[in-house]
Amino acid sequence: TNPERIEMMKYCPRLNKHTLHRETK
Which amino acid is present at 22? Answer: R
What is the pLDDT at residue 19? 81
- Per-residue pLDDT of 1-25, as tens digits, reads 666 777 778 888 898 988 877 776 6
Regarding pTM above 0.95, the answer is no
Question: Are 22 and 7 in contact, with CB atoms under 8 Å apart?
Answer: yes
The whole-number pLDDT of residue 22 equals: 72
**Which residues, 6 or more positions from 1, have their beta carbon under 8 angstroms from its beta carbon?**
none
Q: Please report the pLDDT score of residue 24 as a whole number.
A: 67
